[in-house]
Amino acid sequence: MSIKHLLGLEHLPVETITKILDTAGPMKQIISRDLKKVPTLRGKAVATVFYEPSTRTRLSFELAAKYLSADTVGLATASSSVVKGETLIDTARTVAAMGVDVIVLRHPMSGAAELMTRYTDAYVVNAGDGMHEHPTQALLDMFTILESKNRISGLKVAILGDILHSRVARSNIWGLTKLGAEVHVAGPPTMLPAGLEQLGVRVYDRPEAALEGADVVMALRLQLERQRQGLIPSLREYARLYGLNAERLALTKDDAVVLHPGPMNRGVEITAEVADGSRSLITDQVTNGVAVRMACLYLMTVGDASREDID
């Protein structure tokens, strides 16, 4: 099986998700070796095109490509012709015209990755588009959950925080529900998107009900600008009402685990005690991110001949 573009989990079949998660295991072993290099993607070129600041996602993709022996180049907004007003479409054409096989795109607007696929022959990986999706983050979250729980089906997963603006939440909702988890989300009413219940998600405006008996808790990063936008009165009140602390964590199952997509605002959406505590898998998530991205790049560029066009 192979994937052409990886734009989101909404339209990705369960078998493909499972295939990626299965492939990430062997990839993780490569990372733990002394000699972290396999020749699988030798001769392939991967470009990371980031229109938004990012450290871990970009580093994670570049390392994933390098561990597989692909050549990598990076384009960041500040140093590129993007500041001169070049459109996304022109950038897509330009990068592809230089022979790049895979474009990893991070963009502040929803739908940017899909738009790019219409104007380039290169494979496109969505590394986060606006509020839409961040599929590799959800895949690494699911891989981390699998490592710890050996299953996803039947688990109760609570996602806390700014659901409205979160592409991580959206990708996780698609992926987790496809694999049979029960997803509960909670956040301030000003940060809850309309209509989520129609996707089979339970929605709460206080975190306690979502946390009750949960197997997995995912705390989302609160963009600090949300306070300036008037969506919450203060960070202090947010931390008090929605922050993941030891007291709230006690509502979950005894063996519940804690995830966070990073970077964290310690003391806002999560206390240091929980973030650095024994239930936290946040460091594993970072390692797993590289493994999952290796799996994605591998399946996209080195598949069987019959590629299916999956978005």
Partner 1 sequence: MKILIKGGTVFDPSAGTLRDLDVLIEDARVIKVESGISGRGAIVLDASGMLVSPGLIDMHVHLREPGYEYKETIATGTAAALSGGFTAVAAMPNTNPVADNPAIIEFIRKQAAAAANARVYPVGAITRGLEGNVLAEMGEMHAAGALAFSNDGRPVVSAGVMRRAMQYARMVGVPIISHCEDDTLVDGGVMSEGLTASVLGLKGIPAAAEEVIVARDLLLAETTGCALHVAHVSTAGSVRLIREAKRRGVPVTAEATAHHFVLTDEAVAGYNTSAKVNPPLRSRTDVQAVLEGLADGSIDVIASDHAPHADYEKAVEFDQAAMGLVGLETTLGLVFTYLVEPGVLTAAEALTRLTANPARILGLPETVLKPGAVADITVIDTHCEWEVDPNRFLSKSQNTPFAGFKLRGQAVATIVAGKIRKHSGVRSQ
Catalytic center residues: 56-57, 84, 106, 134
DSSP, collapsed to helix, strand or coil, labels residue 128 as: strand
Asked if 248 touches partner 1 (CB under 8 A), the answer is no
Please count the residues of the chain: 311
Distance of CA 291 to the CA centre of its chain: 13
Residue 158 corresponds to which tokens in the numbers above? 């609570």
Positive or negative: CA dihedral 22, 217, 110, 98: negative
| CB neighbour class for 149 (10 Å; exposed up to 12, middle 13-18, buried from 19) | middle
Asked if 182 touches partner 1 (CB under 8 A), the answer is no
* Single-letter code of the amino acid located at 273: E
- Whole-angstrom Cα distance, residue 166 to residue 132? 8
The site map against partner 1 for 121-150 (x = CB under 8 A) is --------xxxxx-----------------
Q: How far apart are the first and last CA of the chain?
A: 14
Residue selected from 29, 194, 254, 278 as contacting partner 1 according to rule CB under 8 A: 194
Rounded (5°) CA angle 16-22-27: 120
Least distance in angstroms from the C-beta of 210 to partner 1: 18
Asked if 101 touches partner 1 (CB under 8 A), the answer is no
Q: Which is nearer to partner 1, 132 or 260 (CB)?
A: 132
Task: List CB contacts of 130: < 8 A, sequence separation 6 or more.
Answer: 107, 108, 109, 110, 111, 112, 167
Asked if 82 touches partner 1 (CB under 8 A), the answer is no
Residue selected from 31, 76, 109, 286 as contacting partner 1 according to rule CB under 8 A: 109
Q: Which is nearer to partner 1, 95 or 131 (CB)?
A: 131
Residue selected from 28, 58, 106, 170 as contacting partner 1 according to rule CB under 8 A: 170
Q: Which is nearer to partner 1, 89 or 224 (CB)?
A: 89
Q: What kind and span of H or E run contains 247?
A: helix 246-249
Q: Which is nearer to partner 1, 212 or 311 (CB)?
A: 311
Least distance in angstroms from the C-beta of 85 to partner 1: 12
Asked if 31 touches partner 1 (CB under 8 A), the answer is no
Least distance in angstroms from the C-beta of 246 to partner 1: 32
Binding site for partner 1 (CB under 8 A): 10, 87-89, 107, 109-112, 114-115, 129-133, 167, 170, 193-196, 198-199
